Amino acid sequence: MPRITAVNHVAVVVDDMEKSLAFWRDALGIQLQELRDVPAEKSRVAFLPIAGAEVELVMPTTDDSGIAKYLAKRGPGMHHICLEVDHLVSMLAQLKAKNIRLINDEPRTSADGKIYAFIHPESTGGVLVELYQLA
């Protein structure tokens, strides 16, 4: 049976990366590990590790990206929580068997080799949940 092994990150959508970093990095003192453009997602992401997980600040780099549409509709704030799983394919099968609505029926692969899938907020009580299996 597949299992959740950790909280990987909490993603926060931002409309101004420098303003957001002024809070998360400068005011709270969380060290910025990396600021990376993610062309496939049309976004820029700041990675701020803390206690074995990360806060990820996500800002759209174009007006037509999914993140830009989310930002326009809902404004800045929490986007999703990401949980690590030990076997993503099995977890997706288990969720489907329990009639959990998935955004991704099959895993996708990120640029750094992680495989991931999203669970629709309709099935989670309103929270977008991402599942990660590390490479």
Rg (CA), the chain: 15
Q: Element (H or E) spanning 21, and its range? A: helix 17-21
Read off the pLDDT band of 115 (50, 70, 90).
very high
Once rounded to an integer, what is the mean pLDDT over residues 86-111? Answer: 95
Fold designation for 4-133? 2,3-Dihydroxybiphenyl 1,2-Dioxygenase; domain 1 (3.10.180)
Tell me what pLDDT residue 41 has: 87
Domain regions of the chain by residue span: 4-133
Report the predicted TM-score, pTM, of the whole model to 2 decimal places. Answer: 0.91
Q: 90, exposed or middle or buried, with CB in 10 Å at 0-12, 13-18, 19+?
A: middle
β-pairing verdict for 53-60 and 4-13: parallel
